[in-house]
Amino acid sequence: MTALLKLDNATIRFDGLVAVNGVDLEIEKGEILALIGPNGAGKSTIFNLITGIYPPTEGGISFNGKSIAGLPPYVIAGGGIGRTFQNIRLFKELTVLENVLIGAHTRGRWDLTGALLKLLPQVRREEGRLLKLAIHCLTQVGLAHKAYEQACNLPYGEQRRLEIARALAIEPVLILLDEPAAGMNPQEKRTLLEMVRNIRAAGVTVFLVEHDMKFVMGLSDRIAVLDYGVKIAEGRPEEVRANPAVIEAYLGKGTMR
Amino acid sequence: MLHAFVNSIDPYFLQILVNIGIGIILALGLNIITGLTGQLSLGHAAFMSVGAFTGALLTLKTGTPFYLNLLLSGLFSAAVAALIGWPILRLTGDYLAICTLGFAEIVKVVFLNLEITNKALGLTVPTPTSALPMPVIVLMVAILAIVASVLIQNSRFGRALKAIRDDEIAAESVGINIARYKVQSFAVSAFMAGVGGCLYAHFLGYINPSDFGFLKSIDMLSMVVLGGLGSIPGAVFGASILSAAPEFLRFMSQYRMLVYGALLVFLMVFRPNGLLGGVNLTDLVLRKLGIRRHGATRNQEWSQ
Amino acid sequence: MFLQQLINGIALGSTYALIALGYTMVYGIIALINFAHGEIFMVGAFVGLLMVGVFKLNIFLAMACAMIFCMVLGVVIEFIAYRPLRKSSRLSALISAIGVSIFLSSLALMVFGANAKGFPEQAFSSRQIHIGNADISTLQLLIIGVSAALMIGLEFIVQKTKIGKAMRATSEDYNTAALMGVNVNFVISFTFALGSALAAAGGVLVGMLFNAVSFNMGLMAGLKAFAAAVLGGIGSIPGAMLGGLLLGVTEVFGVAIGYSSYRDAIAFAILVLVLLVRPTGLLGRKVMTKV
């Protein structure tokens, strides 16, 4: 099965510091792949590489067989890769609904002319379609009842869910979740787990970075482990958990398990 | 008949009304790039200048009918904006602001030195002959500007602009081409400034490149900031107050800029949303009519 | 001919450098373009003028007074118009800075009127010294000398003193410096004070160079100095010095070639070009944003 996303010896260097070092990674269509590793291992950098914020210094990256290295973020998003951010980046002043409507931006095409000719049936149809898509995404994360709230007024856990809804509005093929469970209590994490499973069931491939081991183990089909920018392990959760290199990376050398 | 009506109104009062109308058009234009898209344009008077001179020259050298004249002035300003916007709008906030200021100064200096704009002597513009009297035209254009602003604000286009204002990186992550939208927003803003400039030229009857310097740009900015950046009623309110005030406060005219300066600082420190920012006019009106926008009724439809 | 223009350019450029330093230091430390900086330059010129004209002080004392007055002014402005906005958006701070700028220039217009004022004859009697086939006036020598002395003094403060170290730390990383016990508010005020003092000196020098002090000299000089700071690399002190000199020389040569009516536009053209082609300037560093 050809991989949906493929990192080929991807390397990112910042002025002498190697953040990502020759990483080979493949994400299969329909799977839930998790990326774990100690702090500073380069996980967010890999996300930023995939979404086009940084170009690879060396190596390649391809999506559905076509290279996306060096493409700007908005093109990559338009190609079907959505993401959430480690430090939540919502449009704070706007409402919950507007946030997701903006997420649905690439699903429409009427710009200035459409704005001025609002009453044109094609334009109204498109607005209706975008609205329906937005509500659908909000329902998926359980926030439809708060559609008119200002995004900054939501409690933290709901803000994270809103970000996911916004990413879903792209109608993505692949979604990147950057520490989606951070700061959530156990109850919220259980809800999130179900949510991610439903997202996959709807046909979206999931690639996530997370620190909560229980969350990761219970959710992922496969896990990749990063340490100092190098991939040190990859495989099914049980395999990775027992891998001595992984244990050493997290606990340091010379510690008995 | 309309001419007769207009001529019966006290000309002093009429002048204030027209100034307010033009002010509204200018403020709404600036509001799109600065209020809605969050890009500070400190040189917007340059687009007003381009529109004013284009309109004046069209009237003086060709015999273009006035309505076409207005349109062409706006379009030409928009074209200039698109041209310089493309390279400039890649810059971050502060640098962009200074760059727009620099550009405005360059435009002023160039116009002061070109033969066709009559250098430092300026141009005298005859009143256009048109079916409708000037004040009515200004009113109509102002209303159009308001309508256009409202339409833009609540559209996919407007949402993209607001996204850029709030968080560019997040906007890019959902597929918005930041550069393209910034340039389009800039062009729309310039269009309105150009139309405003053309009206200004034909109403006042005389224009000079020095009229459109930094202080004019600040005039426009103050209108938008006073009312609240990004707020349409705010821009209208700010434009009205600041266009009318100089007349009523004529005795204080030398204090005008002093007050503007202090006002800007005061607003930013104590009320950054301006006087009307954060007030949603539609909500206010609907609530008075007994219709609640946020609430159970709306949501019940969707949970089916 | 070439040498003459070069001398003129260096003299003019030194004054731009003095003002540019204030911009670059403030930007380096709180990422704000202090729009009002040009007005401080203007106020400095007026204070110098007053000291010489009314109080009959000699030029050096007058300059010192101007510098002290503007140091206080700079600190007060930071306190009233920028400090409350430190957590707000950049747009707000920039608009506030513009407000201060307008306020100060209008105030000067009200107090001193619209006409440019000149320094009285006895302020500094300038002689021409012949070098090769060029003349350098003692005034120009004074300007270059004072500017150089002030810049060397600044470098000393920034590189060799404790407060200088604190300034460098705060400009690298504001939050970490605060956590490390640096009194960030004091450092910022000090930075404003230093920059304002330099601008004031520049104001007095320019006032003497052109023998004209007026309420609107701040805007143009400020923008040109900003262009110089950007050219040299905003945030870099040597960059501001280099940028100022380069801009002065370019402007003088531009006028000499025949573009005198476009004199003011030259600085803006440079500014726009630099920002488009090499936004970090000649000596600036590229900063990566963390996402």
pLDDT digits (tens, 9 = 90+) for B102-138: 888 888 888 888 877 777 788 888 777 777 888 889 9
Asked if C152 is an interface residue toward chain B (Cβ–Cβ < 8 A), one would say no
Q: Which residue of C has its CA nearest to A88?
A: C291
Measured CA angle at B225 (ends B221, B229), to 5 deg: 110
List the single residue in B95, B101, B269 with the smallest CB-CB distance to C84: B269
Computed over every residue of chain C, the mean pLDDT equals 85
- Distance to chain A for C270, nearest Cα, Å: 29
Same domain, A106 and A179: no
CA distances to A61, A91, A221, B236, B260 from B278, rounded to whole Å, are 45, 15, 47, 15, 22
Are C271 and B106 in contact by the 8 Å Cβ rule? The answer is no
pLDDT at position B240, please? 92
Asked if B152 is an interface residue toward chain A (Cβ–Cβ < 8 A), one would say yes
Q: Which of A145, A169, A193 is the last residue of a domain?
A: A169
Same domain, A132 and A252: no
Contact: B42, C269; criterion CB under 8 Å? no
Q: What percent of chain B has pLDDT over 70?
A: 88
- Whether the pLDDT of residue B47 is over 70: the answer is yes
CA distances to B107, C121, C225, C227, C236 from C270, rounded to whole Å, are 15, 36, 11, 7, 18
Same domain, A133 and A214: no
The tens digit of pLDDT for each residue in C51-78 reads: 888 888 888 888 999 999 999 999 999 9
**Which of A74, A123, A146 has the highest number of chain B CBs within 10 A, making it the mutation to test binding with B?**
A74
Tokens 């266009």 found at? B243
- Please state the domain count of chain A: 2
C-alpha–C-alpha distance, residues A69 and A83, integer Å: 17
C-alpha–C-alpha distance, residues A248 and B87, integer Å: 50
Q: Which residue of A has its CA nearest to B148?
A: A116
Conformation bin of residue B64: beta by default, left when phi > 0, alpha when psi is -120 to 50: beta
Asked if A48 is an interface residue toward chain C (Cβ–Cβ < 8 A), one would say yes
- Residues spanned by the domain of A186: 1-80+172-257
In the CATH hierarchy, which top-level class contains the domain C2-113+127-277?
mainly alpha
Same domain, A75 and A103: no
C-alpha–C-alpha distance, residues A21 and A76, integer Å: 22
Same domain, A29 and A141: no
**Which of C269 and C199 is assigned the larger pLDDT?**
C199
The tens digit of pLDDT for each residue in A118-169 reads: 888 999 999 999 999 999 999 999 999 999 999 999 999 999 999 999 999 9
Are C140 and C7 in contact by the 8 Å Cβ rule? The answer is yes
Same domain, A103 and A229: no
Are B142 and B27 in contact by the 8 Å Cβ rule? The answer is no
**Can you tell me the mean pLDDT for B222-232?**
89
The tens digit of pLDDT for each residue in B167-194 reads: 999 999 999 999 999 999 999 999 999 9
A36 membership: H or E segment, kind and range: strand A32-36
Which amino acid makes up residue B205? G
Q: A111-120, B58-67, B293-302: which range is least confident on average?
A: B293-302
Contact: A145, B184; criterion CB under 8 Å? no
Q: Whose CA is closest to A80, among A211, A169, A200?
A: A169
Contact: A105, B163; criterion CB under 8 Å? yes
Q: Whose CA is closest to A134, among A160, A175, A95, A101?
A: A101
The tens digit of pLDDT for each residue in B239-266 reads: 998 888 777 666 666 777 888 889 889 9
List the single residue in B148, B159, B299 with the smallest CB-CB distance to A102: B159
- Whether the pLDDT of residue A1 is over 70: the answer is no
Are A176 and A81 in contact by the 8 Å Cβ rule? The answer is yes
Asked if B218 is an interface residue toward chain C (Cβ–Cβ < 8 A), one would say yes
Residue A39's CATH number: 3.40.50.300
Model-wide pTM > 0.80 = yes
The tens digit of pLDDT for each residue in B134-158 reads: 888 999 999 999 999 999 999 999 9
Contact: B166, A92; criterion CB under 8 Å? yes
Same domain, A143 and A208: no
DSSP 3-state assignment of A207? strand
Each domain of chain C, given as residue ranges in start order, spans 2-113+127-277
Same domain, A9 and A49: yes
Q: What percent of chain A has pLDDT over 90?
A: 58
Measured CA angle at B265 (ends B259, B269), to 5 deg: 140
Computed over every residue of chain B, the mean pLDDT equals 85
Contact: C265, B268; criterion CB under 8 Å? no
Instruction: List chain C residues with CB under 8 Å of A85.
Output: 291
C131 membership: H or E segment, kind and range: strand C128-131
Q: Which residue of A has its CA nearest to C290?
A: A45
**Which of C91, C101, C230 has the highest number of chain B CBs within 10 A, making it the mutation to test binding with B?**
C91
**Can you tell me the mean pLDDT for B28-47?**
93
Q: Whose CA is closest to C222, among C239, C247, C242?
A: C247
Which band of pLDDT confidence, cut at 50, 70 and 90, is reported for residue B297?
very low
- Whether the pLDDT of residue C165 is over 50: the answer is yes
Same domain, A182 and A164: no
- Whether the pLDDT of residue C168 is over 80: the answer is yes
Same domain, A157 and A191: no
Backbone phi and psi for residue C274, each to the nearest 5 degrees, phi listed first:
-60, -45
**Can you tell me the mean pLDDT for B63-90?**
91
Question: A211-249 burial, b for 16+ CB within 10 Å, e for fewer?
Answer: ebeebbeebbebbbbbbebbbbbbeebeebeebeebbeb
Question: Which of B 64-93 lie inside 8 A of C, CB atoms?
Answer: 87-88, 91, 93
Contact: B264, C275; criterion CB under 8 Å? no
Helices C90-112/B214-227 angle, 10° precision:
130
Beta-bridge partner residues of A11: A58
- Burial class from Cβ neighbours inside 10 Å (0-12, 13-18, 19+) for residue C131 reads exposed
Q: β-strand B123-124 against A230-235: which pairing, if any? A: unpaired
**Can you tell me the mean pLDDT for B196-223?**
90
B287 membership: H or E segment, kind and range: helix B281-288
CA A104, chain centre distance (Å) = 16
Are B254 and C109 in contact by the 8 Å Cβ rule? The answer is yes
The tens digit of pLDDT for each residue in C232-251 reads: 888 788 888 999 999 999 88
Q: Which of A118, A138, A169 is the last residue of a domain?
A: A169
- Distance to chain A for C18, nearest Cα, Å: 32
- Whether the pLDDT of residue C291 is over 60: the answer is no
Q: Whose CA is closest to A99, among B224, B293, B176?
A: B176
Same domain, A152 and A118: yes
Are A169 and B159 in contact by the 8 Å Cβ rule? The answer is no
DSSP 3-state assignment of A195? helix
Which amino acid makes up residue A183? G
- Burial class from Cβ neighbours inside 10 Å (0-12, 13-18, 19+) for residue C159 reads exposed
Q: A175-184, B19-28, B218-227, C135-144: which range is least confident on average?
A: C135-144
Domains and CATH numbers, chain B: 9-302 (1.10.3470)
Q: Which of A125, A140, A169 is the last residue of a domain?
A: A169
Asked if A188 is an interface residue toward chain B (Cβ–Cβ < 8 A), one would say no
- Burial class from Cβ neighbours inside 10 Å (0-12, 13-18, 19+) for residue B12 reads exposed
- Distance to chain C for B68, nearest Cα, Å: 33
Are A141 and A205 in contact by the 8 Å Cβ rule? The answer is no
DSSP 3-state assignment of A22? strand
Q: Whose CA is closest to B268, among B234, B229, B213?
A: B229
Rounded CA Rg of chain C: 19
Same domain, A252 and A179: yes
Are A10 and A49 in contact by the 8 Å Cβ rule? The answer is yes
Contact: A93, B166; criterion CB under 8 Å? yes
The tens digit of pLDDT for each residue in C92-137 reads: 888 899 899 989 998 998 888 888 888 776 666 777 777 777 778 8
**Which of A104 and C285 is assigned the larger pLDDT?**
A104
The tens digit of pLDDT for each residue in A73-96 reads: 999 999 999 999 988 999 998 999
Asked if B115 is an interface residue toward chain C (Cβ–Cβ < 8 A), one would say no
Instruction: List chain A residues with CB under 8 Å of B178.
Output: 74
CA C89, chain centre distance (Å) = 25
